[in-house]
Amino acid sequence: MTKPAGRPIGLTLARTTKIVSRAFDDALAAAGGSTPVWLILISLKTQPESNQRELARAVGIQGATLTHHLNAMETEGLITRQRDPANRRVHQVRLTDSGETLFHRLATAARAHDKRLRTGLGAADITALEDLLDRLRANVTVADD
């Protein structure tokens, strides 16, 4: 078996992802939020009237974990949940004014984090990075035949 020419790409990518994700989590926490809360808020901003099933699909948080976050957000006054009159098994989730305020604060933190990530990178670098990441993703994605 031949030795790799350098450090394995997957290891470098995994380490970088962990560091960048931790920095993003820290930026959101400093602004009074978290990554799950940010994902829920941004989803509700793009789809203002969502039910929990749609929200779970959009955010990628399932079942009890989503319910846990929604319970906390409702307690904090960030969202409201009401049963859908057309289907009593479905809960509609909506942002409150406090949720809107937190969304804008977290959006500012997210933009600042993105700006930090782009430091020292030009437009061509960003385009090349996006292309490389797309190619890496394609290398590990199973084609749907």
DSSP string of 59-91?
A: HT--HHHHHHHHHHHHHTTSEEEEEETTEEEEE
Do the domain assignments include residue 17? Answer: yes
In order of 18, 70, 82, 91, 133, the CA distances from 110 in angstroms are: 17, 21, 29, 28, 20
- Does any domain span residue 82? yes
Give the pLDDT confidence score for residue 51 in this predicted structure.
82
Q: Provide the domain limits for residue 95.
A: 10-114
Is residue 4 predicted with pLDDT exceeding 70? no
Percent of the chain with pLDDT over 90: 67
What are the pLDDT digits (tens) for 44-95?
999 877 788 888 888 888 778 888 999 999 999 999 988 877 777 777 889 9
At 46, list the tokens: 């793009």
- Position 84 scores a pLDDT of 75
CATH number at residue 32: 1.10.10.10
- Specify if 5 maps to a domain: no
Residue 124 lies in a domain: no
- How many angstroms from the chain centroid is the CA of residue 94? 18
101, part of any domain:
yes
Judge whether 132 lies within some domain.
no
pLDDT value at residue 145: 43
- What is the per-residue pLDDT for 78? 97
**Total domains, the chain:** 1
So what's the pLDDT on residue 144? 53
Could you tell me if residue 119 is inside a domain? Answer: no
Position 143 confidence tier, pLDDT thresholds 50, 70, 90: low
Residue 31 located in a structural domain:
yes
- What is the 8-class DSSP label of residue 144? -
Residue 26 has pLDDT above 60, yes or no: yes
Look up residue 69 and give its two tokens.
């976050």
pLDDT at 137: 93
